[in-house]
Amino acid sequence: MCGVLGIALPLHAAYPQTAPTPRQSLDDAWWTGPMLANSAATLPRGHVLVEPYLYDVHSAHADGYGSLTYLLYGLTDRLTVGLMPVLGYNRMDGGPDSSRIGFGDVSVQAQYRLTQFHEGSWVPTISLQLQQTLPTGKYDRLGNRPADGLGGGAHTTTLQLNTQTYFWLANGRILRMRFNVAQSFSGTAQIEGTSVYGTPDGFQGSARPGRSFLVNAAWEYSLSKRWVLAFDLTYRHSHNTRVRGDIALPGSTLAISHLRIDTGTSTAFGFAPAVEYNWSARLGMLVGVRVITGGHGTASTVTPAVALNYVH
């Protein structure tokens, strides 16, 4: 009797199957964003984002304490505009520190969204970003305090392509990925005296920073609704910076020598692990560290940072 009943049982009852892993919904994942990669998303019309960063660019013989704040506004659903002011203070080994906290170069930007990610589609969110950096920071006539140099002295234009998409892993959790590519072009900086370009007192001339190419990939793993692990990888290749001019005797316009400086090309590799905690979909915090491992013509640096992200 039992054998007959056993044969008559449905297959799924005789061989129980494991229930599928629940799939995390996009609404159940809150994000602050990784440390380095810009978002491809744009703000809804009339909404604002404020994200201040505090950081310390630590190298073998110096610390560059700074603050960078993103102030973004949704002009339309597809177009976000913004302003990024910078404050800084440099501590130097073997020389005087900055005389005070000062302003660095300010950037303005506009980002236009071309596509929008939708669950079930392979098309990521894609945006074009145009950024203009203005030479508002002090960069020359530094006297005996080269640590006061917080700017570059040249207008810099950056064109960037930003992408963002989502993947669902085998455990049902979301992995968000960003992949950005940027190209920067700089104008000429007129220089007088001691400057961030290594010119001495009495110098008169100019500097032309080389163009720069950047690739930045980032991944964010949603541990829970509030907690996220983030990781950035970066590669930057910069071309030669040219400095040309004359050095005159103190109090005289007579040129006694010509100065030529060529930095040559440089390459930098970096990574940035971080942890995000989100109190809500509108407010989150990021704690991370960027490590530049060095490369051709590039010094190694370690930059711990903390940021708050608020959207309204």
pLDDT in tens, the chain (312 residues): 444 334 343 444 455 566 677 899 999 999 999 999 999 999 999 999 999 999 999 999 999 999 999 999 999 999 999 999 999 999 999 889 999 999 999 999 999 999 999 998 899 999 999 999 999 999 999 999 999 999 999 999 999 999 999 999 999 999 999 999 999 999 999 999 999 999 999 899 999 999 999 999 999 999 999 999 999 999 999 999 999 999 986 666 565 788 899 999 999 999 999 999 999 999 999 999 999 987 778 889 999 999 999 999
- The pLDDT value recorded for residue 254 is 60
CA atoms within 13 A on the CB side of 95: 15
102-103 and 62-74 strand pairing: unpaired
Phi, psi of 75 (to 5 degrees): -70, -40
pLDDT at 15: 52
Q: Coil, strand, or helix at residue 6?
A: helix
**Where exactly are the structural domains of the chain?**
24-311
Alpha carbons 85 and 103: distance in angstroms, whole number: 8
pTM, two decimals, is 0.88
Instruction: Report the sign of the C-alpha dihedral through residues 279, 283, 287, 292, in that order.
Output: positive
Q: Would you say 54 and 307 are in contact if contact means Cβ atoms under 8 Å apart?
A: yes
**C-alpha pair distances (Å), 73 with each of 30, 269, 280, 282:** 20, 32, 20, 15
Q: Specify the CATH superfamily of domain 24-311.
A: monomeric porin ompg (2.40.160.40)
The pLDDT score that the predictor gives to residue 148 is 95
**Residues 141, 132: Cα–Cα separation, whole Å:** 24
Longest dimension (CA), the chain: 116
**DSSP assignment, residue 40?**
S
Asked whether 122 and 153 are in contact (CB, 8 A), the reply is no
Say if CB 202 and CB 194 are below 8 A apart.
Answer: no
User: pLDDT value at position 233?
Assistant: 98
